[in-house]
Amino acid sequence: MGMGGSNVGARIAASVGELEDPVAADFQPALDVSNGGVLFALPALLAVGLLKTTGRFFELSKGYYGLESLFLLLAFMALARLKSIESLCYCAPGEWGKLLGLDRVPEVRTLRQKIRLLSDNDRPEQWSGELCRRWMKAAPEQAGTLYIDGHVRVYNGHQTKLPRHYVARQKLCLRATSDYWVNAMDGQPFFIIHQAVDPGMIKVIEQEILPRLEQDVPIQPGEAELAADLLRHRFTLVFDREGYSPVFLARMKARRIACITYHKYQGED
């Protein structure tokens, strides 16, 4: 059964493929549960739609753990600052199971297999896009001005030879990937673009970010409104000097998208 496994009947049924439905959460009274504070975040996780549309985009074969349990486990791991799936090896599985209303959480190997199944056919990207559209519709006043920021994520493994990026905090060129976050001005994240080979902020904005924003940003002015007011714009992008380019800004103006940035090369006013 594994350490902490006490639901013998359901686990045996799952092991031979006879468990029709995943085990439902069943919370029991408990004292001094490690990391129990993450449950205070459960209402917020539900409010932002963590579990609302998972059934539309994901499905699992018959087994002991269901979609809701897996998504809540990953969310709780992030809140507890577990930076990798392997970190779960060093946590008490029974204690973490109490946070989910189960006898124990899955083994790391099982969790990896489940995540691999959930990641097929670009389903995470589709689910992420749906969440982004929901967040923008819920706060249309925040979706009119969007902040784009690039971050370098250093890769310390040896399985692939990634290109080198300059890491400002270490003042070194290291193998890394680039992440481009698209946020509201108050820091609320809308979505993220991963780039293993980074073509630069300008190309990422034009090729990856703008097609999504033009489709997803709510309350954009129509063609008639744009034709009547030559200074009207669809929405505003804010980014740092990596995106500074007069030619690029001219292209954005032609697409009726406002940009706010600052001059890349210091000099006289």
Higher-pLDDT residue of 38 and 163 is 38
Comparing CA positions, the residue from 250, 251, 219 lying closest to residue 234 is 219
d(CA 43, CA 53): 16
**Closest Cα to residue 160, out of 180, 179, 178, 175?**
175
Query: pLDDT by residue (tens digit) across 102-153?
Result: 999 999 999 999 999 998 888 888 898 899 989 898 888 888 999 999 888 8
pLDDT of residue 244: 92
Burial of 221 (0-12, 13-18, 19+ CB in 10 A): middle
Q: Is the pLDDT of residue 163 over 80?
A: no
Residue-wise pLDDT tens digits, 59-95: 888 889 999 999 999 999 999 999 899 999 999 999 9
Mean pLDDT rounded to a whole number for the chain = 89
d(CA 234, CA 184): 15
Yes or no: say if 104 and 3 are a contact pair by the CB < 8 Å rule: yes
Q: Answer whether 238's CB lies under 8 Å from 260's CB.
A: yes
Question: What is the rounded average pLDDT of the residues 38-55?
Answer: 92
pLDDT confidence bin for 189, thresholds 50/70/90: confident
Q: What pLDDT score was predicted for residue 157?
A: 74
pLDDT at 164: 80
pTM for the complete prediction? 0.79
Question: Which two tokens mark 261?
Answer: 């940035």
Q: Would you say residue 5 has pLDDT above 80?
A: no
- The separation between CA 222 and the C-alpha centre of its own chain, rounded to angstroms, equals 30
Residue 264 scores a pLDDT above 90: no
CA 81 to chain centre: 15
Number of Cβ atoms within 10 Å of the Cβ of 145: 14
CA pair distance 103, 95, nearest whole angstrom: 8
Averaged pLDDT for residues 214-224:
91
Q: Is 240 helix (H, G, I), strand (E, B) or coil?
A: coil
Q: What is the mean pLDDT of residues 158-178?
A: 78
Question: Packing angle between helix 67-79 and helix 108-118, nearest 10 degrees?
Answer: 110
Which of 74-78, 123-127, 158-162, 216-220 bottoms out in mean pLDDT, i.e. has the lowest?
Answer: 158-162
Instruction: Over range 49-56, report the average pLDDT.
Output: 90
- Return the pLDDT at 1: 62
Pairing type for strands 236-238 and 145-154 reads parallel
